[in-house]
Structure 1
Amino acid sequence: MTHETPAHERALAFSRAAHAYAAHRPEYPAAAFDVLEELAGLRLAGARVADVGTGTGLAARALRERGARVIGVEPGAGMAARFRRDLPDVPLVRGDGNRLPLADGSLDLVGYAQSWHWTDPARAVPSALRVLRPGGALALLWNDPDPSVEWVAEQQERIVGRFGDGCYISDRTLPPGLPWRTRELRWSRRISVGFHLAKLATHSAFIVHDGDGAAEFLAAERTHLLRRFPDGTLDEPYVSLVAVAVSPGTRD
């Protein structure tokens, strides 16, 4: 019998929001994949890549557009169904980052885009290293709201006050013992207040607490935001983190 962690159960809860996630979550900036190639020392074009915790395929799509031979790995049924609808030509297997259902030494790159914080690093690191070829790369990507921006920090404080710590900005702790190279990128997108709130509703705090004050919170948040942004639009700021560790061994 497999014992799943609360984090794993929360990750699976995203299946309930698969369509909203696909519609409202931001794409990764193109520069993030330039940085990934630089830090990993490889070209994505032609590379064998697994996008683990792929969700609806936001990163998988970008990787494929770079010419990578991508396979998605996803535990959630709802997310997997949306992935298959949007990316029917990209292979997808059901599984999670703690026990990858992939062959030993079969990949040039294993990526966890906005999904590493759902894993147990003690299991996920050995699993990732097992499926990488010698000299392959483990890449972790995050795309989070930028807490250095005043209105985002104020919003985060309100969310934490309502739903508790750790419910908004992802845990970006890197597992020890690997030669990590990192880079941060700041960027923003111009959207409506309504679109921002729909995106906010796809964060784990609102999915897990659906029906437990989430709707009321979002209604109050609309009032806060329209007071600050009376024209109904805002620049939604992000900070993307790219972290890469190259596995031991000689490249092919």
Structure 2
Amino acid sequence: MTGTARARSFDRAAGRYGASRPSYPPALLDAVEEFMGRPLAGARVADVGAGTGIATALLCGRGAEVVAVEPGDGMAAEFREALPGVPVVRGDGNALPLADASHDLITYAQAWHWTDTGRSVPEALRVLRPGGALAVWWNTHALDVPWIAAQRDRVARHCGVQPPSAARPDDGRAVRLAGFTGLRTARRQVRWSRTVPLDTHLENLGSHSAFLVLGEAGTRAFLAEERGRLREIFPAGTVEETYVADLLVAFRP
């Protein structure tokens, strides 16, 4: 299955995605403001691959003037329900439907890896004002937590994929992987956690593309087994999920 098809698979689970996916810690947006050298209040921001609006809501909460860019029908519909006052335009990061030099900040929350950086980096630089910033970030699993690492390995085996390395890329490799070579960059990693009902944790797990492409039967069987395992670790029925939010910012010259 192509990367585009995997990305569009989220449309089928847009409701689950919006209800169960984690948000991002305040310290992450603090770091964006620190790197930009200005508050987000009043900044013109494009949130690309906005999905159901998880990051958009945080940006709006900081007073930014946000337009969302989202390619998926299901995600855009959920976004409009969650944030009816925020404009959402259809498009993706490889061909932004935005004017030249029109934005102070472009953000990609959990979405940059779905783009072709040979196209998306020049597009972002085109849309940014001089001195503007492109911020990409992900919630990554804290693999030093034993149950999280064990679950990661079980998911990989079930889905027939190679588990991601537990070693985080250093700054230089992170810049190269993001396609930001030659640009001024800054990076921040923020460890944080949330406590959610077991059902929410399982809904979140099942909303990832690796499961969405498997189909309902394969996903349902795995999640039923996982519920039993996690009941033994979290008998109260609430799960503490620990993340490391990994932020990388590149600046337009």
What TM-score results when the alignment is normalised by the length of structure 1? 0.92
User: Structure 2 stretches of 5 or more lacking a match?
Assistant: none
2:84 aligned partner: 88
Query: How far apart, in 2, do the equivalents of 1:236 and 1:21 lie?
Result: 16
Unaligned ranges ≥5, structure 1: none
* CA distance 1:85–1:166, shift in 2 (3 Å): farther
Q: Measured at CA, do residues 167 and 68 of structure 1 come closer, stay the same or move farther in structure 2, by a change above 3 Å?
A: farther
Partner of 2:15: 19
Maintained 8 Å contact 2:70/2:90: yes
Does the alignment pair 1:205 with 2:201?
Answer: no
1:192 aligns with 2:197: yes
Structure 2 distance, partners of 1:243, 1:212, is: 37
Tell me how far apart the structure 1 counterparts of residues 160 and 251 of structure 2 sit (CA, whole Å).
Answer: 35
Distance 2:163 2:83 in 1: 29
Q: What is the CA-CA distance between 1:167 and the residue it aligns to?
A: 7.4
Distance 1:157 1:55, change over 3 A: same
Q: 146-155 vs 103-112, which deviates more?
A: 146-155
Q: 2:125 aligns with which of 129, 143, 146?
A: 129
Name the SS for the 1:134 alignment partner: strand
CA distance in 1, matches of 2:245, 2:128: 24
> Of the candidates 42, 46, 54, which is equivalent to residue 42 of structure 2?
46
- Count of paired positions: 244
1:174 aligns with 2:178: yes
2:241 corresponds in structure 1 to 236
Deviations along 1:130-186, one digit per CA (max 9) or x if unpaired, are 000100000001112222211110000001111133678999632133222101011
Give the fraction of aligned pairs with identical amino acids, expressed as a percent: 52
The equivalences for 1:29-44 within 5 A come to: 29-44=25-40
Equivalent residue in structure 2 for 1:97, among 93, 97, 106: 93
Deviation for aligned residue 1:111: 0.5
**Residues 13 and 80 of structure 1: is their aligned pair in 2 closer, same or farther, counting only changes over 3 Å?**
same
- Output the TM-score relative to the length of structure 2: 0.92
TM-align CA RMSD? 1.8
Task: For 1:179, give the aligned amino acid.
Answer: R
Check if 1:147 corresponds to 2:143.
yes
- State the one-letter code of the partner of 1:133: R
- Residue 221 (structure 1) aligned with residue 226 (structure 2): yes
The alpha-carbon deviation at position 68 of structure 1 amounts to: 0.3
Matched, 1:77 2:102: no
